[in-house]
Structures are given as structure tokens and as C-alpha cells.
Chain A
Amino acid sequence: MTPISTATNKVGKAIKLGPTASSVRVAITPNSKTAYVLYDYYVAQTSHSYLIPVRTASNTVLAPVKAGSYLNSIAITPNGKTAYVTSDRYGSQGQVYRGYVIPVSTTTNKAGTAIKVGSDPGAIAITP
């Protein structure tokens, strides 16, 4: 991931996230302090999904949060306390589609109990 200063359009040092990804999404907390990167990649045809917190002040990567697999989208609550990610399949359920939404505390960067929703969850949006 590349940070760009909007004042100068100059590029900062690239932030290494992981191997070649199948999909990537980014959401930033309302206080601008943390960018959460939803990073999904395949190893031996298995999806590995992580939510990677990046401290924006230093552009350093914090410990990735393991949050399901086949992650789709991310949204952060207006109070900035929780990031919600949608996951197509949770754990190692093979080909069984199970849709979950995983809440991740932005204070502890720990995933909470997965919330079961319908299959194949895609977009997510949160009321103001």
C-alpha cells in the first residue's frame, strides 16, 4: 500500500502487507489514526484473510487480525470503535458457504464473535 501526501502528491515509503492479494479494501477510522486493510490472498487454493491495522502517523503495520476467510468489505462505526468485515466463509468450512460479519474492536484489534448473516455477504454500510 502506498501513502500519498495530498499536499504534495509525493509518495511515502510503500507499506508491505503480504503476498499477492486476491482482494484488498481499506477503511480509515474517523480520527484518522488507523487505516484498516482487508487483505485476502490464496495459498494452495485456500483463502487467507487478515485485517491489517496500519498506524497512519508512522505508516507502520500492527499485528494482523485473523478474521475469517474470503473477506469482502469493511466499514467502521461513526464512533470509530468497531470495524465490521464481511466474510464469505468462516474458518475452514471447505466449500460450504456461510456468511458472517465479524466485529473487530479498534481498541484491542481483537475479533469478536462472528455474527451469522445470509450467505455470500458483500457490501456493508453503517448509519451515521
Chain B
Amino acid sequence: MNTSITHSLSVVAAVGALAVLGLAGTGPAGAAARPATAAKPPHPVTAYVANSGGNRVTAINTVTNKAGTGIKVGAAPGQIAITPNGKTAYILTGGSVVPIDTATNTALKPIKDTGGPGYIAITPNGKTAYVSYCCYNQSSDKLTPIRTATNTALKPITWKPGTVYGASPIVITPNGKTAYVASTAGTVTPVNLTTSKVGKPITFGKVAEDGNAYIAITPNGKTVYVAESSPYQPGDTVTPISTATNKAGKAIKVGESPVAIAITPNGKTAYVASTGSGPGG
């Protein structure tokens, strides 16, 4: 059972990231709002699934629900992010980032030296992917930019305090100017993506031993919601951070052990899901 639980924790905060990626990629109304006259996409909408226990990614045609043969990407594929134009899927694996050409479903040359990856987020203009790191006992946090035009890694951006446990989820403001990186150090670090300068970490909690951090941003980019939980200090709050001031607001009480934050595409409601027996249940 332990393996199973650890495994689910390792992929857990995908939620927030996924929701935000969806927004960045499709705009608040999503493809549903696409006018009937719009050109058809060059290939069917495809779901990419990482076989975290193997070394492949499976592409599923969402029209036919047929799975292709696995695309070999390297050991332990984890998080996946897709560029807003849908042309490239980036897969985090142990030690590298593997781009997949979505037109042909072939793996391109791995981008090396991005090891121990945690999360990935792509700027709304699709030009840069940012990869955060994992895991235990990192002395500093690190964000590696990848230029998507050439699939090359740029100079990593580092700071302290860094990830203490787990991986650090990333959100990017809809204007593409700032990334917020949450960490189990109980901090959120703003990074100016124009200058690659790191802002002062914003403290929202204590060190969450063996825990995970979760983050989401409203579609208007005004508020970041962040939470953390660990088996020892389950936690029962989520903290709003104003992106205008980079100041943490008053912590909001939620159910015990928050493990997912998702914000409706219309920006009205943030849902915080908890595993515990608290009021959130």
C-alpha cells in the first residue's frame, strides 16, 4: 500500500497545474467557444498519458478513444505540459525533459541536465517552459527555462529557501510576466520571467515534512492560492496571495489535508479538496 500512496502523492498537485495549463492553452472559454467557421486543428485532440511505472507515454485520440503504441521517453515519466498551440508535449522524466511532436507522436531529442524534475509550466505565449525540481534535501530551489523554439535549456534560476520535501508546483500569470513557485518550505517565490530575477519568498506556512505544496492562480492573474500538507502536519488552510503586492492574505480554513486546488475557468470559485476528516471531508 505504501508504494501506492507515495506514488499518488508524487503526482498529486497536477490538479492545480492542469487546470491552469488548460486555461493558458485555451483561454477561459476553452475550445468550446471556438467559432464554427474556425479552421480545424491539424490533428485530433489527443490525450497524453505517462506510464509512470514504465518508460512510455501513450497517446489517445479523444475522438476515437483509441490508444497508440507507447512512445518511448525514458524512465519514470511524470508531469506533462503542452504548448498553447498544441504542437509539442513536454514530458518530465528522471533526469531530462522529453519533447513529443504531437503531429507525429514521436519523441524528440531529450533536453538534458534538467534532472530530478518536479513540475513544468509553459508561458501563455508558448515560448518558454519552466521546469522545477524535486526532491528531498535540495539546498536551493531551481527553475530551468527551456526555449521551446529550439528545445534548449537556458541558465537555471536559483534561490533559497528551496524545496524541502516533494516537488515545487509552478503557476504563471496570464500576462506571462511572473511565475510563482510553491514549496514545502512554506514559501511561494515570485520569479520575474522578463528579467529572470527572483523576488522575495512569500511565507505562508512552516516546513511541511514529507509533504507536498499546491498552488493555483485565478484566470485574471490577481490571486494565487497556495496550500501545503504533510502526514505529520496535515494542515487545514489555504492562503491567498495578491499578485499586485506579493503579500499573503489571511489563511482560509478548509478541510484537513488539502491536496488539490482548482479554480473555475470563470474565476469565481476556488475549490480546495482535502483528504481528511475535517469540515471539507
- Name A's B-contacting residues (CB within 8 A): 1-7, 9, 11-12, 14-18, 20-28, 30-32, 35, 37, 40, 42, 45, 47, 54, 56, 70, 72-80, 82, 84, 86, 88, 97, 99, 101, 103, 112-113, 115-128
Pair A25/B260 contact, Cβ less than 8 Å? yes
For B65, what are the chain A residues with a Cβ–Cβ distance below 8 Å? Answer: 103, 112-113, 115
For B10, what are the chain A residues with a Cβ–Cβ distance below 8 Å? Answer: 122
A32 to chain B, nearest CB (A): 4
Pair A27/B262 contact, Cβ less than 8 Å? yes
Pair A127/B89 contact, Cβ less than 8 Å? yes
Pair B49/A121 contact, Cβ less than 8 Å? yes
Of the candidates A16, A26, A47, the one having the most CB atoms from chain B within 10 angstroms of its own CB is A26
From the candidates A4, A35, A47, name the one contacting B238 in the complex (CB within 8 A).
A4
Q: Which residue of chain A has its CB nearest to the CB of B86? A: A127
Pair B279/A2 contact, Cβ less than 8 Å? yes
Pair A22/B15 contact, Cβ less than 8 Å? no
Q: Please judge, given known A-B contacts A6-B267, A32-B264, whether A124 and B273 are in contact too, CB under 8 Å.
A: no
Pair A80/B262 contact, Cβ less than 8 Å? no
Q: Which 6 A-B pairs have the closest CB atoms?
A: A120-B53, A30-B30, A122-B52, A78-B31, A118-B51, A26-B262
Tell me if B253 is interfacial: C-beta within 8 Å of chain A: yes
B247 to chain A, nearest CB (A): 13
Whole-angstrom CA separation of A120 from B75 in the bound complex? 13
Pair B15/A26 contact, Cβ less than 8 Å? yes
Pair B51/A119 contact, Cβ less than 8 Å? yes
Pair A4/B270 contact, Cβ less than 8 Å? yes
Pair A123/B82 contact, Cβ less than 8 Å? no
B264 to chain A, nearest CB (A): 4
Whole-angstrom CA separation of A27 from B264 in the bound complex? 9
Whole-angstrom CA separation of A14 from B84 in the bound complex? 34
For B252, what are the chain A residues with a Cβ–Cβ distance below 8 Å? Answer: 2, 4, 9, 11
Tell me if B137 is interfacial: C-beta within 8 Å of chain A: no
Whole-angstrom CA separation of A76 from B30 in the bound complex? 11
21 A–B contacts from the bound complex (CB under 8 Å) = A1-B274, A2-B271, A4-B252, A9-B250, A11-B254, A23-B275, A26-B262, A28-B262, A30-B22, A35-B264, A40-B8, A45-B1, A73-B11, A73-B18, A113-B65, A116-B67, A118-B56, A119-B54, A122-B10, A126-B22, A126-B62
Q: Please judge, given known A-B contacts A75-B47, A113-B65, A118-B58, whether A2 and B274 are in contact too, CB under 8 Å.
A: yes
Whole-angstrom CA separation of A3 from B22 in the bound complex? 20
Whole-angstrom CA separation of A69 from B218 in the bound complex? 31
Tell me if B80 is interfacial: C-beta within 8 Å of chain A: yes
For B267, what are the chain A residues with a Cβ–Cβ distance below 8 Å? Answer: 6
Q: Please judge, given known A-B contacts A1-B271, A2-B274, whether A14 and B280 are in contact too, CB under 8 Å.
A: yes
Pair B49/A86 contact, Cβ less than 8 Å? yes
From the candidates A5, A11, A15, name the one contacting B268 in the complex (CB within 8 A).
A5
Tell me if B108 is interfacial: C-beta within 8 Å of chain A: no
Q: From residue 1 to 54 of chain B, which have CB atoms closer than 8 A to chain A?
A: 1, 4-5, 7-12, 14-15, 18-19, 21-22, 25-26, 28-32, 41, 43, 45-54
For A18, what are the chain B residues with a Cβ–Cβ distance below 8 Å? Answer: 281
A2 to chain B, nearest CB (A): 4
Whole-angstrom CA separation of A6 from B238 in the bound complex? 12
Pair B275/A79 contact, Cβ less than 8 Å? no
Whole-angstrom CA separation of A77 from B5 in the bound complex? 27
For A84, what are the chain B residues with a Cβ–Cβ distance below 8 Å? Answer: 47, 49, 60, 62
Pair B26/A22 contact, Cβ less than 8 Å? no
Q: Please judge, given known A-B contacts A78-B32, A118-B54, A119-B54, whether A126 and B45 are in contact too, CB under 8 Å.
A: yes
Pair B102/A25 contact, Cβ less than 8 Å? no
